[in-house]
Structure formats: C-alpha cells, structure tokens
Amino acid sequence: MNWIILKVSDEEKKTSLSITGAKKDHIINILKKKEGDLLKLILPGSGKFTFQIETITGSEIKGKIISQETEKQIHKFECTKVFFALPRPQTGKKIFHLCGVYGMGEICFIHPKSQNKEFWTSPLYNGGEWEEIESGLSQSGNIFPTAFSYHKQENWKEYLGPSENVFIFDGTGVPFESHREEIVTKALSRQKLNFCFGPESGWPQKDLDEFKFRNYRLVSLGSLVLRTEFAFHAFLHQTRTWLETDSA
C-alpha cells in the first residue's frame, strides 16, 4: 500500500480527516507511523495530497491535509469503456485491480455464453469491486477511479454505439497496432471508444457474424492465446504508451 485511499466530501477536506479499520492498522503496524508523521494520500478524482497525523486512538487516526501535488494528472482513459464476458472471480479481481492501476474509465461485464452463470453470485460482483480497484489506485498512484456495470441481457451488443468507435478483440482480427493513429486521435479528443474482450474460449460464431454485420472492427493483440487479464493488461499498457507518446 504505497498510497492511502480515502473517499471524503469536499467539506471534510477542509477540516479533519479520519482513517479507520484495516487502513488504520496498516499505517500503525506496517508503516509504523506515529503522531506528527506524514502520509501519502489519494482522494479519488481529486488528486494526491500530503496528510499529517494529528492523533492516534484505538479506533481511528485523525489528521489534516497540509499540501497537494501540483502536477496535473490527465485522465487518458476517460472516455474508454471495456466490455468483458463475465470471468471467474479470481480473474475479475485482477481486472478490477488493473483498472485501478491504469485509471480505466468504465468497464462492463456482459452475459456469459459458455461460462458458469454462478459467477454472478460471487461477493466480488456484489459489493467487492471497489476493494480491488482501490488496491490498484494505492499501488500506482493513479487518482482516477473506474466506473463499472453489469449487463445480463442477451442484447448487450446494441449498447456498443457507432461502429466506427467499436473494437472487438479476436485472434482473427487485424493487428491492434494498425489502428494506433485512429485510437489515439479519438481518445485525445475525448470521443467515446468501446473495446470488447470475449470469453477465453473465443467468441461464438454467431457473435462474430453479428459483429461483422454491424461493421465493428476485429483486432488482435497477436498470435499468442492470452488469458483475459493478460490480454487486458497488454491492451492497457500498449494504449497508454501510445497516448503518452503522442500527447507529449
């Protein structure tokens, strides 16, 4: 835990902040912080701050913000949304964590065709999402949280938007690299972009036929067959590198 993540109101920022629970225990037992010490703090969506501990009691740490980092962070994935066929919870945890690391704008889990429907009942998908996103924020220092949603209906494809802004990852597609200029231009101009990762067993032919009918672009990350979380990481790293290079 490199950064402490707190969700607070604007009014609380101006007064005293309180840290409780596992974060308090981590600060005391792992970071070995004492009254008067400083902490690195992130308020999601607001920025990075320096926090000074004023008092430590058995139930909480209280303190105040004494400074804010002045370097402006740019939300590179602000208008980007990624769709996934609902994965096993262990994979889902890694996806949420990566969202926190990179600052993905939004993700949506869709109705699975070839996977265990019982995944929907996992605690991860019923309130456990933020813990994993927060772990990514804490690790990387990213300040932008990720929105998430679920779409259990069969007709989820109707919500992908205009065909020119939709990219479907599939091994039969053209190299993702070939769309670099287009993706960077749209992302930097804040146009909506939608990317879809299918089940690890591959898209059903029925879906591929519908994608082609709707003129969605099929793209590939290479000849290797990657697990969902590794494919997502490859996409995030490659796209962020493009955006950082082209916006420099």
Q: CB–CB of 108/129 below 8 Å? A: no
In one letter, which amino acid is 234?
A
Query: In which residue ranges of the chain is pLDDT below 50?
Result: none
Number of domains in the chain: 2
pLDDT of residue 30: 92
- In terms of domains, do 171 and 54 share one? no
Beta bridge partners of 19: 61
User: Is 232 a member of any domain?
Assistant: yes
State how far the Cα of 235 lies from the Cα of 76, in Å rounded to an integer.
13
Using a 10 angstrom Cβ sphere, with 0-12 exposed, 13-18 middle and 19 or more buried, the burial of residue 151 is: middle
Predicted pLDDT at 44: 94
Q: Is residue 215 part of a domain?
A: yes
| pLDDT recorded at residue 113 | 66
**Looking at 19, 43, 68, which one is the last position of a domain?**
68
Whether residue 183 is found in the same domain as residue 156:
yes
Tell me which of 38, 68, 98 is where a domain ends.
68
| 145 neighbors 106 (Cβ within 8 angstroms) | no
Whether 53 and 105 share a structural domain? no
Based on the domain organization, do 164 and 233 belong to the same domain? Answer: yes
Residues 112 and 34 in one domain: no
Residue 74 lies in a domain: no
5-17: b or e for each residue (b if 16 or more CB lie within 10 Å)? bbeeeeeeeeeeb
Q: Bridge partners of 123?
A: none
- The amino acid at 80: T
Q: Report which of 9, 4, 225, 47 is spatially closest to residue 135, judged by C-alpha positions.
A: 4
For CA atoms 116, 122, 127, 129, give the dihedral sign: negative
Domain containing residue 126: CATH number:
3.40.1280.10
Closest of 145, 142, 140, 202 to residue 171, by C-alpha: 202
Contacts of 166 (CB under 8 A, 6+ apart): 160, 194, 195, 196, 214, 216, 217
pLDDT attached to residue 158: 80
Same domain, 22 and 116: no
Query: What's the alpha-carbon Rg for the chain, to the nearest Å?
Result: 20
Give the structural domain span for 107. 80-247
